């Protein structure tokens, strides 16, 4: 085990780098701001690599733990640690931060330092969420991470950004207030502890568990987002700049799903079992209903946003089947979705930067002018449709196979996404990429430059690697997922 | 040890070729692309021959290459199963692929996407080899979807044509409908067998033969045999890939792709993946007579009714496409009759003669300068002698002329169905028998119209340019890719790279049946690979009793019904289209209702378009506009915001700023509180 406080570094390097970037001031120093931001993102990523390479796969408990007192009066601690469930998200988050900084390189031309700083700070805060083992610390990071994203949408967003930013902020704030109440209740019940791991062991009556579960559910369902509290996401995506969409899809959506595994399942296992069919029903609605809604979208970003919701439906479905296949499949789906939807949003950004439209109808025949781009976009579209050998397949495959064991008709409904998911993705691809050159905007397109090619190339490698050899990803999860399942199987009612 | 490296080499060589041609397609010259890919496929073919001989010597293999994923108690691995079924498929795939690669040099000569095309067909060869060499369901599914992807890419190869990019999406989505069933079948296998490894699953299958599952909580009527459900789910996958009714609709449209891939993918190899899969799963299918009945009925419908549609097609490729559908139906019928070895045998002979027919059709298309309408052809035998002779051989093989390859396989299917007693076998027997006549009729209708009779080409008649030729890529216009012959221009024989594969394919089309039927169908070739429950499905056993060698079978056939049906088909088509062309026209007028039905392909496309595609869009629109926008956003989200606004606007009315309003309110309040307090006491 490493002697360096890797988790603290993973949190604070990006945050301090972000603050440093802010000091570069106005847009005169843009090159410096960009270089600093990139350096900070890369440094933040490098410190997370030992988390994976040094991870003990046989240990299902917390690793790289850091514990020191923060507010002794309320027994609040600065308590960090990762297990097989959270570790990959720290690495993914740090990885995506590099992508995001690179994605905004030439595109963002005003308030460059502030833009990059917002992303770096958000990256650190989100690492804080994934690594916090103290309820208050978690809550602070959880709420604080809203602010940079709110600013990113509200400042660098599209014409309707204010509505979208408010909708996003209020929706998620509404969810987290109930979450705060649940934390207070647990603090009192546990006799004055904010340790999440203590709460896991806390016996709670079924009635109280149910209320806790519902409070968590509302908080996390908004984040995931689950049907019917999903409508903020398409608006937020449409208005957000490309980088914002990438972070939103790749990382921010994972926070809610992660919360289910860290809070709902272990703290309220009996209520989780009781209400699992409710959550599964919502998940299936997300997969089927949202799939059809995605089919008829005319705005590419909205389409991919809706497809994100459907993909996250697989995640919540996997969690609440209470099987190793289901949970690991869901976790794989989360990581994969980070690569694939991030790439999809970046691809749309590439076209938007050139044509300044996201409407499918404004495109057609892009392949004639951007063949390299079309090939890469094809790969990610296929991954989005869950084609084997891409990462998009692995999670869906595991969840569907797990679902057959759980209930044939649940699997039936989930597997329908094989058809619908392919339909909306390929139909969009056909209308945008194939065909004759549709108009003079498309005619003037230039193919992707080296920077864009590098970003998409890295994401393509990640997507293919995870599709062809997912074992390194699932290997780290086994012990923790098995511990979780054993824990959830034991009743907490006394 | 050494053999295992060779196994790996077979799929990897085409993959490397595909990567060279694909990743560098914009920088390398054409000869590098075709040399690299042809070398890759040639290596795969040669090594396949070596492996075939090794397996003949008794060395089969079943082992893991690497562990793809573990989760819970489950392991998913990538591995190879090398036995006679695998090597048969490997030989067919690599040989036909090699022929198509060589042919492509000539066919795609003028196309700007030359390197890309070679990359795709090599990638296809890799995917198909991964599919057939798999030793587990997961990798099978990988290959299954990968060939689907390449098929998608190749149907839409000319991506500026609206028809092509519609057809490729349609093909992918219809296949996905099949895969939807397929993955549920795989899920059932994993759930009940605990593994996806073939050997373990097949070994355990007899124990689970009587297992039932309940599909609808606690209702007796919903309790069904596990094997039946699993096999039908798996077969739905096969119906998508092998284009069985009602999931056949994508295959005719797939003719939008360049002809070499119609031969390779949409005739010889990919579309037979479903047949291969069911044969591989014979230990499961044998345990469910109900599933086999389902298989045989679907196959029979496809065999006969798709054949009818071949009669009225005028596009040379579509005639061959409907013939492929019909022949796939024959293979499926064989599967249903538990004659798996016959199905694989027909798969093999069909791969040769159908690839030959497609490539010959492509040769004709080149000769005709990309006019595909057989009404504009006629008399081509004078100008394209090699294409003519090889087409004749292919057609004769297809209709089941005794001693040619197609005869042995098709006749065996008909006999096996005659001897089968599962429900639906009677219907299937009628269909395959009637199908013989239909096959002979449409095949020779095309043959006569193309190669014999009046020369109808070179007329300056724009009406003959049918819809495929309407749209051009900018680059394609430069070298008139899609024009017919100009007036006075004559068709010409194609270069050697095009006709050589025809000749090489003609050899097995003639001879392979005679050579292979003994060992493959009635010998021990598939011993331990294909499993038949002889007590329940004795057809193959009875068939073997009637078999006295290939020559005897051929001689005997000259006196049987199928032979006369085929002969009648040939003669009738000659009479109709060579002697009295007024008769078919009259029939068309007389039975216009049936003609309209055929013209519209039994309305499958229109139905799918309206119900499934239209329905999905309508559903999506109503869920979006009604659910998301109106109820959730309108009522709940913005509604609660409005509610807050409304409440505050009402309460704002109280804050008037007049002292007497406040005083009055206070007095009323005190009064109310006092009343309550008094009542309480």
Q: Which residue, among A291, A296, A380, would best test binding to B if mutated, counting the most B CBs under 10 Å from its CB?
A: A296
Residue A34 pLDDT: 87
The per-residue pLDDT for B392 is: 93
Residue B37 CA to residue B94 CA, distance in Å, equals 12
Confidence at residue B479, expressed as pLDDT on a 0 to 100 scale: 39
Q: How many CA atoms lie within 13 A of A166 on its CB side?
A: 6
Which range, A177-181, B292-296, B624-628, has the best average confidence (pLDDT)? B292-296
The two structure tokens encoding residue A173: 């704030």
Write down the pLDDT at residue B218: 67
* Cis-peptide into B246, omega within 30 deg: yes
Pairwise pLDDT comparison (B281 vs B581), residue with the higher score: B281
Three-class SS state of A119: helix
Within 8 A of B619 by CB-CB distance, chain A residues are: 292
Residue B483 confidence (pLDDT)? 63
Instruction: Return the number of CB contacts < 8 Å for A and B.
Output: 143
Instruction: Mark out the alpha helices in A132-160 (DSSP H runs).
Output: 135-144, 146-156
Which of helix, strand or coil describes residue A323? coil
Per-residue pLDDT reduced to its tens digit, B559-585 = 889 999 999 999 999 998 888 888 888
Split at pLDDT 50, 70, 90, the class of B681 is low
R_g of chain B, CA atoms, integer Å: 31
Q: Convert B194-215 to b/e letters by CB count within 10 Å (16 or more is b).
A: ebbbbeebbeebeebeeeebee
Residue with more model confidence, A49 or B215: A49
Pairwise pLDDT comparison (B528 vs A1), residue with the higher score: B528
Q: Name the strand (E) or helix (H) holding A71.
A: strand A63-71
A69 membership: H or E segment, kind and range: strand A63-71
pLDDT at residue number B482: 52
Mean pLDDT estimate for chain B = 87
Q: Which residue of B has its CA nearest to A378?
A: B153
pLDDT tens, B172-185?
999 999 999 999 99
Q: Give the pLDDT confidence score for residue B491 in this predicted structure.
A: 82
Nearest CA in chain A to B618: A296
Report the percent of chain B where pLDDT is more than 90: 47
**Which residues, 6+ apart, have CB-to-CB distance to A4 below 8 Å?**
A47, A50
Residue A28 DSSP code: G
Q: Which residue has the tokens 């003994």?
A: B518
Q: Which residue of B has its CA nearest to A298?
A: B621
Provide the pLDDT for residue A378.
Answer: 94
Closest alpha carbon to A30 in A113, A100, A104, A108: A113
The residue that leads in pLDDT, B41 or B585, is B41
Q: Using alpha carbons, select from A99, A112, A446 the residue that is nearest to residue A246.
A: A99
Residue B224, chain A, CB below 8 Å: the answer is no
Distance CA A373, CA A361 (A): 19
Give contacts of B 382-421 with A, CB under 8 A.
none
Q: pLDDT value at position A481?
A: 92
- Please tell me the distance from the alpha carbon of residue B455 to that of residue B306, in angstroms, as a whole number: 29
Task: Give the number of other Cβ atoms within 10 Å of residue A70's Cβ.
Answer: 16
Residue A478: list chain B partners with CB under 8 A. Answer: 70-71
> CA geometry: angle at B234 spanning B233 and B240, to 5°?
95
Count of beta carbons in the 10 Å neighbourhood of residue A336: 28
Look-up of token digits 């921010």: A252
A122 vs B474 pLDDT, higher one: A122
B187 and A426: CB-CB below 8 Å? no
**Cβ of B183 and A397 within 8 Å?**
yes
Q: A222 to chain B nearest CA, in Å? A: 13
pLDDT at A3: 72
Contact by Cβ (8 Å): B88, B80: no
Output the pLDDT for position A377: 94
The two structure tokens encoding residue B301? 């419908």
Please state which of the ranges A223-232, B78-87, B148-157, B477-486 shows the lowest mean pLDDT: B477-486
Partner-chain residue, chosen from B67, B72, B144, that has the shortest CB–CB distance to A323? B72
User: In angstroms, rounded to a whole number, what is the distance separating the alpha carbons of residues B477 and B470?
Assistant: 11
Peptide bond preceding A383 in cis form (omega within 30 of 0): no
DSSP category for residue A45:
H
Q: B617 in contact with A at a CB cutoff of 8 Å?
A: yes
Note the pLDDT tens digit of each residue in B222-245: 788 889 999 999 999 999 999 998
- Of the listed ranges A264-268, B426-430, B613-617, the least confidently predicted one is B613-617
pLDDT class for B475, splitting at 50, 70, 90? very low
Cis preceding linkage at B51, omega within 30: no
What is the pLDDT averaged over residues B666-671?
A: 86
Give the burial class of A444: count Cβ atoms within 10 A of its Cβ; 0-12 exposed, 13-18 middle, 19 or more buried. exposed
B:56-85 residues touching chain A, CB 8 A cutoff = 66-74
ipTM computed for the complex: 0.91
Q: Which ranges in B420-495 belong to alpha helices (H)?
A: 425-451, 474-477
The average pLDDT across A297-321 equals 93
Map residue B68 onto helix, strand or coil: strand
**SS3 assignment, position A109:** coil
Mean pLDDT of B650-667: 79
Handedness of CA B364, B370, B374, B375 (dihedral sign): negative
B502-519 average pLDDT score: 90
Residues B49-76 have a mean pLDDT of 90
CB contact under 8 A, A403 and B474: no
**Residue B191 contacts A, CB cutoff 8 Å:** yes
Instruction: Read off the pTM.
Output: 0.90
Assign B481 a pLDDT band (cuts: 50, 70, 90). Answer: very low
- Digit-coded pLDDT (tens) for A403-417: 998 888 999 999 999
Mapping DSSP to helix (H, G, I), strand (E, B) and coil, where does residue B619 land?
helix
Backbone angles phi, psi at B243, to 5 degrees: 50, 55
**Residue A91 pLDDT level (bands cut at 50, 70, 90):** very high
Q: How confident is the model at residue B376 (pLDDT cuts 50, 70, 90)?
A: confident
Q: Positive or negative CA dihedral for B39, B43, B46, B52?
A: negative
């Amino acid at each position: 085990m490493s002697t360096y406080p890797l988790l603290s570094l993973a949190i604070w390097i990006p945050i301090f780098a972000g603050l440093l970037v802010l000091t570069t001031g106005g847009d005169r120093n843009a090159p410096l701001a960009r270089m600093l931001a990139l350096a900070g993102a890369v440094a933040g990523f490098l410190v997370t690599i030992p988390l994976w390479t040094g991870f003990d796969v046989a240990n299902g408990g917390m690793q790289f733990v850091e514990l020191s007192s923060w507010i002794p009066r309320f027994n609040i601690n600065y308590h960090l640690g990762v297990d097989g469930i959270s570790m990959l998200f720290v690495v993914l988050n740090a990885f995506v931060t590099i992508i995001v900084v690179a994605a905004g390189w030439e595109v963002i031309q005003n308030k460059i330092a502030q833009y990059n700083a917002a992303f770096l700070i958000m990256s650190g805060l989100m690492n804080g969420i994934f690594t916090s083992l103290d309820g208050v610390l978690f809550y602070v990071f959880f709420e604080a991470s809203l602010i940079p994203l709110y600013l990113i949408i509200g400042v660098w967003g599209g014409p309707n950004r204010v509505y979208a930013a408010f909708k996003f902020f209020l929706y998620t704030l509404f969810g987290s207030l109930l979450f705060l109440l649940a934390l207070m209740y647990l603090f009192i019940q546990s006799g004055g502890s904010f340790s999440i791991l203590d709460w896991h062991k806390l016996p709670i009556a079924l009635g109280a568990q149910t209320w806790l579960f519902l409070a968590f559910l509302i908080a996390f369902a908004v984040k995931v987002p689950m049907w019917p509290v999903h409508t903020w996401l398409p608006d937020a995506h449409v208005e957000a700049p490309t980088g914002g969409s990438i972070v939103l899809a790749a990382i921010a959506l994972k926070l809610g799903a992660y919360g289910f595994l860290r809070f709902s399942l272990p703290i309220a296992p009996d209520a989780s079992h009781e209400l699992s069919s409710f959550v599964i029903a919502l998940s299936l609605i997300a997969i089927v209903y949202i799939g059809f809604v995605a089919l008829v979208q005319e705005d590419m970003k909205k389409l991919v946003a809706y497809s994100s919701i459907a993909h996250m439906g697989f995640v919540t479905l996997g969690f609440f089947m209470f099987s190793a296949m289901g949970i690991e499949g869901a976790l794989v789906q989360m990581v994969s979705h980070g690569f694939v939807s991030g790439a999809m949003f970046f691809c749309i950004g590439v076209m938007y930067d050139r044509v300044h439209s996201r409407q499918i109808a404004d495109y057609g025949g892009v392949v004639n002018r951007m063949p390299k781009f079309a090939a890469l976009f094809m790969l990610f579209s296929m991954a989005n449709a869950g084609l084997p050998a891409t990462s998009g397949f692995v999670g869906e495959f595991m969840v569907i196979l797990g679902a057959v064991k759980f209930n044939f008709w649940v699997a039936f409904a989930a597997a329908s996404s094989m058809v619908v998911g392919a339909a909306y993705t390929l139909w969009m691809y056909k209308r945008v990429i194939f065909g004759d050159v549709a108009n003079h905007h498309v005619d003037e397109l230039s193919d992707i430059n080296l920077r864009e090619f590098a970003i998409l190339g890295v994401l393509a490698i990640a997507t293919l690697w995870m599709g062809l050899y997912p074992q390194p990803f699932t290997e780290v999860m086994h012990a923790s997922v098995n511990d979780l399942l054993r824990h959830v199987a034991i009743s907490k009612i006394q | 040890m050494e053999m295992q490296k060779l196994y790996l080499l077979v799929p990897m060589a085409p993959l490397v070729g595909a990567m060279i041609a694909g990743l560098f397609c914009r920088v390398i010259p054409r000869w590098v692309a075709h040399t690299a890919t042809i070398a890759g496929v040639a290596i795969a073919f040669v090594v396949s021959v070596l492996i075939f001989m090794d397996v003949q010597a008794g060395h089969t293999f079943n082992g893991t290459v690497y562990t793809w994923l573990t989760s819970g108690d489950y392991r998913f691995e990538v591995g190879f199963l090398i036995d006679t079924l695998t090597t048969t498929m490997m030989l067919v795939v690599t040989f036909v692929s090699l022929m198509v690669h060589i042919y492509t040099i000539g066919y795609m000569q003028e196309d700007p996407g030359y390197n890309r095309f070679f990359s795709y067909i090599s990638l296809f060869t890799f995917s198909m080899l991964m599919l057939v060499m798999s030793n587990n369901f997961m990798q099978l599914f990988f290959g299954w979807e990968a060939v689907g992807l390449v098929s998608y890419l190749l149907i839409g190869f000319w991506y500026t044509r609206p028809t092509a990019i519609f057809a490729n999406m349609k093909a992918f989505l219809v296949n996905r409908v099949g895969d939807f069933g397929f993955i549920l079948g795989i899920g059932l296998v994993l759930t009940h067998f605990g593994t996806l490894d073939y050997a373990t699953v097949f070994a355990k299958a007899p124990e689970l033969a009587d297992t039932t599952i309940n599909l609808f909580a606690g209702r007796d009527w919903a309790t069904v045999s596990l094997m039946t459900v699993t096999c039908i789910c798996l077969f739905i996958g096969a119906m998508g890939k092998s284009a069985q009714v009602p999931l056949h609709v994508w295959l005719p449209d797939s003719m939008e792709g360049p002809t070499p891939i119609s031969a390779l993918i949409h005739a010889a190899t990919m579309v037979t993946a479903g047949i291969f899969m069911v044969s591989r799963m014979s230990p499961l299918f044998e345990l469910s007579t109900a599933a086999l009945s389902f298989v045989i009925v679907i196959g029979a419908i496809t065999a006969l009714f798709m054949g009818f549609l071949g009669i009225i097609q005028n596009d040379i490729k579509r005639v061959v496409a409907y013939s492929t559908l019909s022949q796939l139906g024959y293979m499926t019928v064989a599967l249903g009759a538990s004659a798996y070895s016959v199905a694989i045998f027909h798969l093999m002979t069909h791969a040769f003669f159908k690839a030959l027919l497609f490539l010959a059709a492509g040769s004709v298309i080149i000769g005709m300068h990309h006019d595909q309408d057989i009404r504009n052809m006629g008399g081509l035998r004078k100008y394209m002698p090699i294409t003519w002779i090889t087409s004749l051989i292919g057609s004769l093989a297809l209709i089941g002329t005794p001693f040619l390859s197609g005869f042995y396989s098709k006749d065996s299917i008909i006999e096996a169905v005659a001897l089968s007693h599962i429900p639906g076998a009677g219907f299937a027997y009628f269909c395959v028998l009637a199908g013989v006549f239909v096959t002979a009729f449409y095949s020779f209708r095309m043959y006569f119209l193309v190669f014999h009779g009046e020369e109808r080409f070179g007329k300056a008649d724009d009406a003959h340019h049918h819809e495929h030729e309407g749209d051009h890529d900018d680059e394609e216009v430069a070298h008139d890719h899609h024009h017919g012959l100009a007036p006075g221009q004559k068709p010409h024989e194609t270069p050697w790279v095009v006709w050589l594969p025809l000749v090489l394919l003609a050899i097995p089309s003639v001879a392979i049946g005679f050579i292979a039927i003994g060992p493959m169908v009635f010998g021990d070739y598939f011993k331990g690979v294909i499993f038949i429950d002889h007590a329940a499905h004795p057809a193959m056993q009875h068939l073997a009793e009637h078999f006295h060698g290939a020559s005897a079978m051929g001689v005997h056939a000259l006196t049987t019904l199928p032979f006369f049906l085929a002969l009648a088909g040939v003669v009738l088509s000659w009479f109709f289209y060579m002697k009295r062309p007024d008769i078919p026209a009259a029939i068309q007028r007389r039975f216009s209702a049936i003609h309209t039905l055929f013209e519209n392909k039994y309305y499958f496309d229109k139905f799918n378009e309206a119900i499934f595609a239209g329905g999905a869009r309508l559903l999506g629109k109503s869920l979006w506009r009604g659910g998301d926008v109106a109820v959730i956003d309108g009522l709940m989200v913005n509604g609660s915001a409005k509610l807050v606004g409304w409440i505050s606007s009402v309460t704002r009315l109280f804050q008037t700023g007049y002292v007497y309003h406040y005083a009055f309110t206070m007095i009323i309040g005190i009064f109310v509180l006092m009343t309550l307090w008094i009542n309480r006491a």
